[in-house]
């Protein structure tokens, strides 16, 4: 990912075969919105032993990619999941300019 931001214009984050976040390469690091993207980026090693970053460790089970239910595919592992997340599939929405996210509560995760 550290290299990707220098060679890419746009980044798409996928989860179980679905696009969950898309934005320009610099924005994904600065304005990460989707809870899965946040966890994914927190796992990138930092090449500086003095710099600390909180690692987000996901718990819960992966949803079935073979027979996905009509809900958020990340709901079983999302620390912010609410009832709606288990009942409705979120659609991609533009949350920031040219930055789309598939999460019912994406606005709450904007820094």
* Binder among 31, 33, 40, 104 for ligand SF4 (CB under 6 A): 104
Please choose, out of 24-32, 46-54, 58-66, 100-108, the segment that lies near ligand SF4 by the rule CB under 6 A. Answer: 100-108
Containing 38, the helix (H) or strand (E) segment is helix 35-42
How far apart are alpha carbons 1 and 37 in whole angstroms?
Answer: 12
* Binder among 31, 32, 90, 95 for ligand SF4 (CB under 6 A): 90
Q: CB of 76 within 8 A of CB of 61? A: yes
Q: Tell whether residue 81 is a contact of ligand SF4 (CB under 6 A).
A: yes
Please choose, out of 5-13, 24-32, 48-56, 77-85, the segment that lies near ligand SF4 by the rule CB under 6 A. Answer: 77-85
* Binder among 35, 39, 40, 100 for ligand SF4 (CB under 6 A): 35
Of 63, 54, 64, 56, residue with least CA distance to 37 = 56
SS3 call for 2: coil
Extract the tokens encoding 49.
């032993």
- Residues at the site binding ligand SF4, with contacts judged by CB under 6 A: 34-35, 72, 74-75, 78, 80-81, 85, 90, 103-105
């Amino acid at each position: 990912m550290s290299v990707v931001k220098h060679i890419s214009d746009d980044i798409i984050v996928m989860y179980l075969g679905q696009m969950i976040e898309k934005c320009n390469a610099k924005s994904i690091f600065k304005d990460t919105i989707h809870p899965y993207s946040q966890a994914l980026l927190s796992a990138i090693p930092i090449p500086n032993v003095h710099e600390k970053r909180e690692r987000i460790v996901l718990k819960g089970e992966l949803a079935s990619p073979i027979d996905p239910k009509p809900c958020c595919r990340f709901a079983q592992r999302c620390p912010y999941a609410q009832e709606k997340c288990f009942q409705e599939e979120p659609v991609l929405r533009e949350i920031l300019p040219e930055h789309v996210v598939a999460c019912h509560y994406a606005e709450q995760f904007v820094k």
